[in-house]
A and B are shown apart, each in its own frame.
Chain A
Amino acid sequence: MMTTELHPSAQSWQDTNGVLLRHDGDAVDDEWVYRGLTDEGEKVLEHIEATLGLERLVKLGFVPTERTRQPVSGTGLRTVLRHRRVKRVIYPMEWTMSMWREALAAFCDLSLGLMEHGLCLVDAEPHNFLFDADGRPVFIDFGSLRLRGKNYWMRPGWHREFKDNFLLPILLHNAGLHQLAQAVKGEPFETAFKRTYRWSAVALVTIWPDLLRWTSKLSGNPRLYFRVIKRRLARPGLGLEITEWSDYETQGGEWGSWKQAAVEESLSMPGIGSVLDVAGNKGRHVFEAARRGFTTILTDIDEVSLEAARAEAHKRGLRLFVGQLDICRPTPPWGKGLLMENSFDRLGADLVLALAVSHHLVRNVRLPFRTFAAILDRYSRRYILAEYVDVADVHVKKWVGKRGFPPTGYSEREFTAAFAALGYRAVRTWHDVPRARLLFLFEKP
């Protein structure tokens, strides 16, 4: 446990229950996040301890939380809680639609549980959930807990927030408007679309939750509301968007073994504690990292593949963080003052894997190798394992001459030069001669 003094964190929202705290300077406690409570927050904590207890709160889906005795600088806050830190933050705009549904189910369960004990959640925000490496959503915002009656949930303001922030992407997705659902999912705060959709045809898909709210309110049964929402919107197995990558099998047999051997050798390099696979499809290369106990993150643009990876990790009992992310379009910082971190800072790792992806990016979005290298560099803390696919490759040679492929400078020399320009040196190379593919393990000293 760190013993330095705590200060209010700039990222903390103005909250009547308390503020998030940070340590002096750049010190970060890897295990815990601290929260100082105001008088209002203390009342909530005392109520919880007198009724269901913090342990039971955790069983309802709350992040592991306990009291602690850490001094807080100059704020007058006496009571400090600490919450178990979820080691990688994947924001809702990076969740797959299945993860949205799971978070919604967890929200409904937590709400029903709290209702039993005279508590409620004043915020209906998906951002208050984080997915832990075991694939389970945990609720992290103690500041959202209030001592309120059961009818609080049925207030129009609360319901509007719940519908706009939590239900809308799922409702749109269920209505087949997949692209719109993706666009809305990516909106981190109230935008023109969320302010104006009520006057468009899109509002039709949101009518039934309004009717349900009225039914629950008139019958005095808020439980009905959450149960129906959960049954209709949060059940598993509802469709995901299938893309060209959903059944993409990059390689098999001996070739796959060759690549897997390179990955395993890279994982044995010194100083590796975390691994990120960008565009990792179904995650075949990261399971070994997870098996070795590294903090492992898998990102891809295709949610079907990511769900397959999550299922496989669950089956094997591996801890894996998963996020739906386009390698070319990382999540920018957002929120007040852009203080919520971008995906580079949240998901960065000691070793970054980028296999069988650079040639697709050059062909599909004309991404130059130096931009590709610059993106990976921002994710990487030390190593990058990247694959160069030559024009002689069996897949790539079919593209030659079409859509301006290959562009000027598509060469192995250009590929390695892009990383060299950023200060990397190739410490290991694997060459698959028949398929004209090369794997480079780059290290930044």
Chain B
Amino acid sequence: MITTPPSSACGPSPDRAGRTTPSDECDVRLDPASWLDEHGVLLRGDDQEWVYRALTDKGEAVLRHIEAGPGLAKLGGLGLVETERVENPRSVPHRPELKTMVRHRRIQPVVYPTEWTPVMWQEALAFLCRFMEGLASHGLALADAHAFNILFTPQGRPVFIDFGSLRVARRRFAVSRGWHRELRRDFLLPLLLQKLGCRQLASTVACEPATGFVKQHYRFSPLLLPTVAFDALYELARLFRRPGLYLRGVEQALCGKRLAPDQTSWTNYAATGEGWKGDFVRALLEQITDAPSVLDLAGNKGTYALFAAKLGKRTLLADIDAASLDQARATAQRDGIPLLVALTDLCYPTPPRGLGLLRPGPYERFQSDLVMALAVSHHLAFRRKVPFHTFAEIISRFARRYIITEFVGLGDEHVIKWLNKGRQPPSGYSDDQFTQAFADAGWRVVKRSVRPDGHRTLYLFERRPD
């Protein structure tokens, strides 16, 4: 079972402080996705709770500076992911000269910036600015301003995960020009576009790698103009050696007012058949005890995801509508429920990315023991022409053990509206084809419930043991 970090995820808890960590008994291996970093290499162990990092001399110097100054616990308070020194580490395979090791609390599931809502982007930028300012006050700085260095915890809080990006500040002005340029390209540009109302372009830019076309060429286009003010602010702050002026200015300008995401047809979507469906789904979530992780696909405002999270399951809510996800996050934070959200189009999830595609895609990152996909198959079939066997395949790739899903028949009130508008059902649109598609994908029906009017059916599928 994958354990979620405790609510005090940053900074070692008192009982951990000072004790010898168990990782000297744990085998570690080099992570191929780890960059060629002057400060160290990332390692994976068999335990799911920690990620390890072996430090080079340069990395060790940073660690010593931290330990002699603020300490790892204080950096945790600023926003560094929970990090502690590993006493008596085992030797690193193929790199025996790396003697110093730290470990970081692993956050799962990993939601990439390409799956953040605009409000999450704002929160991440505000966090990064404050983190940088906090570091500067301790004589430290960040080498990178990548959005990928930030993860959201289930408590909805951003944390900084890249210890390899920490540097001992050499200059009195800790924010380097390179860092500002990277911030401008990776953070300011998509958020400025979002603010200016170019939402589609903003989301394209946010999803682009650093080598993407817009990120490479925006300097030669009118897109540069809105960023010029930030260049001026940077130069001013540099002149007076006040990083806070720049970092707070950026934060105020782009994060001061909450962005209103696009209103889509799903923003005010009212779920159908709550009573019947709610009873069935909630009962299953309570009964299924061997599914510690839950993914709610196209879960809108997270009615069932929040219920699953309340039961103590590690829950991820994925939807195409940012406004609904923001609402779900707000509800979760208000009620103290740990819930992660991901802006995901079920038909077009974020592909694996990065060098060698070593940053995994959503099927690996979001894979859960139980997957819910309720009231969605008919929308995909009618609106996007997704056949049931394709739908079943997509859901299967996310699910390890169970699937709760729904078939909506041609007699349903919503489907009748579409039929009256002249929309044709896809060939083979029937309950039999629906279950056959899941059977072909390796699933068996464990439970079903038909709505009293007979036009909707809920299924609990279990993966066949073969």
Question: Which residues of A are at the interface with B, using a C-beta cutoff of 8 A?
Answer: 7-14, 16, 19, 38, 73-76, 179-180, 183, 189, 191-193, 195-196, 328-330, 332-334, 336-339, 342, 344, 362, 365-368, 370-371, 373-375, 378, 407-409, 413-414, 417-418, 420-422
Contact check, B441 vs A365: say whether CB atoms are below 8 A apart.
no
Q: Tell me if B412 is interfacial: C-beta within 8 Å of chain A.
A: no
- Most A CB atoms within 10 A — which of B349, B361, B397, B440? B440
Q: Cβ of B61 < 8 Å from any Cβ of A? A: no
Per-residue CB proximity of B388-400 to A under 8 Å, as 1/0? 0110111001000
Q: Is the CB of A332 within 8 A of B29?
A: no
Question: Could you list which residues of chain B lie within 8 angstroms of chain A, going by C-beta atoms?
Answer: 29-30, 32-36, 38, 56, 93-95, 200-201, 203-204, 211, 213, 217, 346-349, 351-353, 355-358, 361, 363, 381, 384-387, 389-390, 392-394, 397, 426-428, 432-433, 436-437, 440-441
Beyond A337-B397, A408-B36, A421-B30, 8 extra complex contacts between A and B, CB < 8 Å: A7-B440, A9-B389, A14-B426, A328-B356, A338-B348, A338-B363, A362-B36, A414-B94
Residues from chain A with Cβ under 8 Å of B389 in the complex? 7-10, 12
Contacts of A408 in B (CB 8 A): 36, 38, 56
Q: Are B95 and A334 in contact (CB under 8 A)?
A: no
Question: With A191-B204, A337-B393, A421-B94 given, is the CB distance from A10 to B441 under 8 Å?
Answer: yes
The one of A75, A195, A337 that contacts B200, using a Cβ cutoff of 8 Å: A195
Considering the chains assembled together, what is the distance between the CA atoms of A190 and B6 in angstroms?
Answer: 42
Distance (whole angstroms) from the CB of B56 to the closest CB of chain A: 6
Instruction: Indicate if the CB atoms of B361 and A336 lie closer than 8 Å.
Output: no
**Contacts of A76 on B, CB cut-off 8 Å?**
428
- Complex interface: chain A residues within 8 A of B356 (CB): 328-330, 371, 374-375, 378
Docked pose: A370 CA to B437 CA in angstroms? 40
The answer to whether residues A337 and B213 also contact, given A10-B390, A195-B200, A365-B355 and a CB cut-off of 8 A, is no
Q: Given A179-B213, A421-B29, is A10 in contact with B351 using a C-beta cutoff of 8 Å?
A: no
Contact residue among A9, A337, A378 (Cβ-Cβ distance under 8 Å from B347): A337
A371/B358 in contact, CB under 8 A: yes
Contact A342 B352 (CB under 8 A): yes
Q: Which residue of chain A lies nearest to B354 when distances are taken between CB atoms in the complex?
A: A329
| A191 CA / B436 CA spacing, docked (Å) | 33
Least Cβ distance of B360 to chain A in Å? 11
Q: Count chain A CB atoms within 10 A of each CB in B204, B347, B389, B436 and give the residue with the most.
A: B389
* Cβ-closest 9 pairs across A and B: A10-B393, A374-B32, A332-B351, A417-B94, A337-B394, A14-B385, A375-B356, A192-B204, A368-B36
Q: How far is the CA of A339 from the CA of B386 in the complex (A)?
A: 12
CA distance A421 to B217 in the complex (A): 39
Asked whether, in the complex, the Cβ of B347 is within 8 Å of the Cβ of A329, the reply is: no
Q: Which residue from A74, A329, A333 sits with its C-beta under 8 Å from B355?
A: A329
Q: A409, B95: Cβ atoms under 8 Å?
A: yes
Report A35 CB to chain B, min CB distance, Å: 14
- Contacts of B384 on A, CB cut-off 8 Å? 336
**What's the minimum C-beta distance from B36 to chain A, rounded to whole angstroms?**
4
Contact A366-B393, Cβ < 8 Å, known A180-B213, A329-B355 = no
- Known contacts: A179-B213, A192-B201. The answer to whether A368 contacts B390 by CB under 8 A is no
A38-B427, A179-B213 known; A337 vs B30 contact (CB < 8 Å): no
**Measured between C-beta atoms, what is the minimum distance from B465 to chain A in Å?**
14
**Closest B-chain residue to A420, C-beta based?**
B94
Residues of B within 8 A of A193 (CB): 204, 213
Contact with B35, one of A183, A368, A375 (Cβ below 8 angstroms): A368
Identify which of A10, A11, A367, A413 contacts B392 (C-beta below 8 A). Answer: A10
**Residue with the highest number of chain B CB atoms closer than 10 Å, among A11, A195, A329, A338:** A338
Least distance between A173 CB and chain B CB atoms (Å):
15
Q: How far is the CA of A196 from the CA of B221 in the complex (A)?
A: 15
27 contacts between A and B (CB under 8 A): A10-B390, A12-B387, A12-B389, A13-B387, A179-B217, A193-B213, A328-B355, A329-B211, A329-B356, A330-B356, A330-B357, A336-B347, A336-B386, A336-B394, A337-B346, A338-B363, A366-B36, A370-B30, A371-B34, A371-B355, A407-B36, A408-B36, A408-B38, A420-B94, A421-B29, A421-B93, A422-B32
Which of A195, A333, A370 gathers most chain B CB within 10 Å? A370
Q: Which residues of B contact A417 (CB under 8 A)?
A: 93-94
Q: Which B residues touch A378, using CB under 8 A? A: 356-357
> Contacts A367-B36, A408-B38; is A8 near B440 (CB within 8 Å)?
yes
Alpha-carbon separation in the docked complex, A285 to B266 (Å): 55
Q: Which of B33, B35, B385, B441 contacts A366 (CB 8 A)?
A: B35
Inter-subunit contact A339/B428 (CB<8 Å): no
Give every chain A residue within 8 A of B211 (Cβ-Cβ): 329
Of B357, B392, B428, B437, the most chain A CB neighbours within 10 A belong to B357
Cβ A332 vs Cβ B358 within 8 A: no
Nearest CB in chain B: distance from A370 CB, A: 5
Query: How far in angstroms is the closest Cβ of chain A from B349?
Result: 6
Q: Are B348 and A336 in contact (CB under 8 A)?
A: yes
Nearest Cβ in chain A — how far from B249, in angstroms? 29
**A334 CA to B361 CA in the complex, in Å?**
11
Partner of A74, one of B363, B381, B436: B436
CA distance A156 to B111 in the complex (A): 40
* Complex alpha-carbon distance, A366 and B38, angstroms: 11
- Residue contact B427 to A337, C-beta cutoff 8 Å: no
Docked-complex contact A192 and B200, CB < 8 angstroms: yes
Distance from A364 Cβ to chain B, minimum over Cβ atoms (Å): 12
On whether the beta carbons of B204 and A337 are closer than 8 Å, the reply is no
Task: Report Cα–Cα, A362/B385, bound state, in Å.
Answer: 45
Q: How far is the CB of A223 from chain B (nearest CB, A)?
A: 32
| Residues on the A chain within 8 Å of B428, using CB | 75-76
- How far apart are A148's CB and chain B's nearest CB, in angstroms? 18
Contact of A371 among B32, B204, B387 (CB under 8 A): B32
CB-based nearest B residue for A19: B387
Name the A residues within 8 Å of B357 (CB-CB): 329-330, 332, 342, 344, 378
Residues in chain B near residue A332, CB distance under 8 A: 351-353, 357, 361
Q: Tell whether, in the assembled complex, residue A367 and residue B355 are in contact, meaning their CB atoms are under 8 Å apart.
A: yes
Taking the closest CB of chain B, its distance from the CB of A281, in whole angstroms, is 20
CB <8 Å contact, B427 and A16 = yes
Q: How far is the CA of A75 from the CA of B389 in the complex (A)?
A: 11
Taken together as a complex, chains A and B put the C-alpha atoms of A74 and B381 apart, in Å, by: 19
B437 to chain A: closest residue by CB: A8
Q: Give Cα distance in the complex from A332 to B364, angstroms.
A: 14
* B35, B93, B356, B393: residue with the most chain A Cβ atoms closer than 10 Å: B356
Q: Which residues of B contact A418 (CB under 8 A)?
A: 94
Give complex CA distance A336, B381 in Å: 12
Given A195-B200, A332-B351, A420-B94, decide whether A13 and B392 contact each other with a Cβ distance below 8 A: no
Return chain A residues, CB-CB under 8 Å to B36.
362, 366-368, 371, 407-409
Nearest-CB residue, chain B, relative to A335: B348
Listed residue (B30, B93, B352) with the most chain A CB atoms within 10 angstroms of its CB: B30
Q: How far is the CB of B350 from chain A (nearest CB, A)?
A: 9
Least CB distance, B384 to chain A, in whole angstroms: 8
Q: How far is the CA of A445 from the CA of B464 in the complex (A)?
A: 30
A422 to B93, CA, bound (A): 12
A11 and B394 CA atoms in complex are apart in Å by 10
Known contacts: A373-B32, A414-B94. The answer to whether A333 contacts B352 by CB under 8 A is yes
* Chain A, Cβ-Cβ closest to B349: A338
Task: Identify the closest chain A residue to B205 (Cβ).
Answer: A192
Nearest-neighbor residue (CB-CB) of B212 within chain A: A183
Residue of B nearest to A38 (CB): B427
Q: How far is the CB of B425 from chain A (nearest CB, A)?
A: 11
Q: Provide the residues of chain B in CB contact with A75, threshold 8 Å.
A: 428, 433
By a CB distance below 8 angstroms, the chain B residues around A420 are 94
Q: Is the CB of B93 within 8 A of A333?
A: no
* Cα distance A333–B356 in the bound complex, in angstroms: 12
Minimum C-beta distance from B207 to chain A (A): 10
Nearest CB to that of B199 among chain A residues?
Answer: A192
Kindly provide the distance from the CB of B209 to the nearest chain A CB, expressed in whole angstroms. Answer: 8
Given A9-B389, A409-B95 in contact, is the A338-B361 Cβ separation under 8 Å?
yes
Whole-angstrom distance between the alpha carbons of A321 and B135 in the complex? 53
